[in-house]
Structure 1
Amino acid sequence: STAADLVRFALGVMKHRVLDEGWTERMWTNQALTTGDTITYAQGWRVE
């Protein structure tokens, strides 16, 4: 895989060509721990 491949993938995600808008939103949503705290890590992506 190349940097260009990563750019194509990222653009596809942002333009909802890889996943629909609902899945993309879930992918970038902070996740909750069993303690109820949230973390800045969401399905493989670091989010803030």
Structure 2
Amino acid sequence: MHPHSPPWRKSPLRVWLSSGISSLFELLNAANELFSRPRNLSSPRTPR
């Protein structure tokens, strides 16, 4: 009988951390697209 697995192995915080990191990267990607799109699309269209 092996002892109880350490709390950090199946703690909700670890799961929240991993999912939070992935969602954070998704947010960064979305922000990058949002910030890069207007410049690329508006610069050629605007008569400046």
**TM-score above 0.5, yes or no:** no
Which is greater in Rg? 2
* Higher helix content, 1 or 2: 2
TM-score (norm 1): 0.32
Using the size of structure 2 for normalisation, the TM-score is: 0.32
- More strand per residue: 1
